[in-house]
């Protein structure tokens, strides 16, 4: 006997045929492999009133099985009782409508709905992603797609415009093809993007890093150096005043001093960046502060092709939640930037199966390494 199974239209036609043959309730249930109570409820729920009776008293056949008059031998016009018929097609349509209706709307109380609305609103105001809000708050009993659907249908106080990437970009009319000449003063041979791909292919077990500068407006003296590990979604942010190549080298030297050469190599075995003048001193960036050996390998994207380091570009887009484009960042301190850094690394990521970048890094490199990076301020 099957439980919890919905009847289809063929089974409903079988019920009608068996009713016309005056089969017993138990016999119909056995043939359909269902509980007799399910058949009884089906007939009572989906019977259709076809004639109002002249008598106040109801027919016994409509008060108990079969509940309908389909198999009645009395003539329709001569019966003084209220009459009901069972129509398999109409019953199927009613069942389909009930099934769809039961899956619409939210299955929660008004209090739960208000709590959901407040949780989403507060989380978005704190620059948290919808995924992080849902996964971080265990009392939110809805899925991420459901939250987006509620926002887009205006069922929550949070509006689509409140989400960081709800506004779609306009399609560009045309793409300009840039021609550029390689700077002959800087020899980047064996450090091109193709060399990066070859190195990555030869060392599949290593997580590479990507590096870029994030500025706000041209008049700013300060910029933020972004160093991210795409495989872990982990990011380090460094506030740099009047960026130069030597200041980037100094940051690398301080990182190596704090972490140790071996741990630095494990975290940043090879790095992909753009051709910014601040990253041109590859020999100093690559060479260890303590030995003549290499601490990392540096590779460069092709000119005008930032998509080759898409992960750090995407991270910069995330950082725009905290450092909006067009607004100065000169007022920021290193401690404030570190606070934003910690918020990002504590956010839950879908591609990490709901883990945070902190948890992913600790799993790969240990809690001691995570503790050092968490408290670094350079």
Q: Which residues of 209-236 are buried (b: 16+ CB within 10 A; e: fewer)?
A: bbbbbbebeeebebbbbbbbbbbbbbbb
**Could you give the CA distance from residue 14 to residue 5 in angstroms, rounded to a whole number?**
16
**Could you give the CA distance from residue 116 to residue 113 in angstroms, rounded to a whole number?**
5
Q: Give the residue-averaged pLDDT of 364-378.
A: 92
- Pairing between β-strand 222-229 and β-strand 209-214 as defined by DSSP bridges: antiparallel
Q: Give the residue-averaged pLDDT of 221-246.
A: 92
**Could you give the CA distance from residue 15 to residue 28 in angstroms, rounded to a whole number?**
7
Going by pLDDT thresholds of 50, 70 and 90, the confidence category of residue 75 is low
In Å, how far are 106, 166, 193, 348 from 146, measured between CA atoms?
9, 16, 41, 18
Q: Is residue 71 predicted with pLDDT exceeding 90? A: no
pLDDT tens digits for range 52-66: 877 677 888 889 999
Q: What are phi and psi of 112, to 5 degrees?
A: -65, -35
127 vs 253: which has the higher pLDDT? 253
Going by pLDDT thresholds of 50, 70 and 90, the confidence category of residue 170 is low
**Could you give the CA distance from residue 340 to residue 327 in angstroms, rounded to a whole number?**
16
CB atoms within 10 A of CB 29: 19
Q: In the predicted model, what is the mean pLDDT of the chain?
A: 86
CB atoms within 10 A of CB 314: 14
**Could you give the CA distance from residue 339 to residue 362 in angstroms, rounded to a whole number?**
19
Tell me the whole-structure pTM to 2 decimals.
Answer: 0.63
User: What is the sign, positive or negative, of the torsion defined by CA atoms of 278, 282, 283, 285?
Assistant: positive
> Taking a C-beta distance cutoff of 8 angstroms, is the pair 323, 339 a contact?
no
Beta strands in 79-153 (DSSP E): 83-86
Residue 188 backbone zone (phi > 0: left; psi -120 to 50: alpha; other: beta): alpha
pLDDT tens digits for range 194-231: 999 999 999 998 999 999 998 755 666 889 999 999 99
Nearest by Cα to 37 from 27, 25, 48, 46: 25
pLDDT tens digits for range 268-304: 999 999 988 889 899 999 999 999 999 999 999 998 8
Q: What are phi and psi of 85, to 5 degrees?
A: -125, 155
Cβ within 8 Å of residue 107, ≥6 positions away: none
Percent of the chain with pLDDT over 70: 89
**Could you give the CA distance from residue 201 to residue 190 in angstroms, rounded to a whole number?**
15
Q: Give the residue-averaged pLDDT of 231-256.
A: 93
Going by pLDDT thresholds of 50, 70 and 90, the confidence category of residue 180 is very low
Q: Is residue 184 predicted with pLDDT exceeding 60? A: no
**Could you give the CA distance from residue 85 to residue 51 in angstroms, rounded to a whole number?**
9
**Could you give the CA distance from residue 199 to residue 220 in angstroms, rounded to a whole number?**
36
């Amino acid at each position: 006997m099957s439980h919890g199974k919905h009847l289809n239209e063929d089974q409903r036609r079988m019920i009608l045929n068996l009713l016309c043959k005056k089969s017993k309730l138990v016999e119909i249930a056995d043939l359909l492999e269902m509980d007799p109570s399910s058949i009884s409820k089906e007939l009572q729920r989906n019977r259709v009133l076809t004639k109002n009776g002249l008598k106040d008293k109801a027919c016994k056949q409509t008060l108990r099985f079969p509940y309908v008059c389909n198999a009645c031998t009395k003539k329709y016009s001569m019966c003084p009782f209220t009459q009901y018929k069972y129509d398999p097609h109409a019953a199927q349509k009613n069942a389909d409508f009930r099934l769809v209706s039961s899956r619409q709307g939210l299955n929660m109380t008004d209090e739960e709905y208000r709590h959901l609305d407040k949780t989403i609103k507060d989380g978005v105001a704190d620059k948290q992603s919808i995924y992080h809000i849902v996964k971080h708050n265990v009392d939110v009993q809805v899925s991420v797609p459901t939250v987006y659907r509620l926002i887009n249908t205006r069922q929550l106080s949070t509006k689509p415009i409140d989400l960081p990437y709800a506004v779609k970009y306009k399609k560009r009319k045309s793409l300009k093809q840039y021609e550029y000449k390689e700077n002959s003063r800087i020899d980047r041979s064996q450090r091109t993007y193709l060399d990066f791909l070859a190195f990555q292919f030869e060392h599949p077990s290593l997580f590479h890093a990507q590096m870029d500068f994030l500025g706000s407006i041209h008049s700013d003296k300060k910029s933020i150096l972004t160093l991210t590990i795409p495989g872990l979604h982990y990011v380090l942010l460094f506030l740099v005043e009047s960026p130069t190549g030597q200041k980037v080298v100094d940051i690398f030297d301080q990182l190596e001093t704090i972490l140790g050469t071996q741990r630095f190599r494990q975290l940043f075995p090879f790095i992909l960046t753009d051709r910014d003048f601040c990253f041109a001193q590859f020999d100093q960036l690559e060479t260890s502060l303590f030995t003549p050996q290499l601490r990392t390998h540096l590779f460069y994207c092709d000119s005008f092709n930032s998509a080759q380091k898409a992960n750090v570009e995407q991270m910069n887009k995330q950082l725009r939640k905290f450092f909006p484009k067009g607004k100065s960042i000169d007022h920021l301190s290193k401690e404030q930037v570190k606070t934003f850094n910690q918020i990002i690394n504590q956010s839950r990521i879908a591609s990490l199966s709901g883990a945070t970048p902190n948890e992913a890094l600790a799993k790969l490199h240990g809690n001691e390494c995570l503790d050092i990076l968490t408290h670094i301020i350079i």
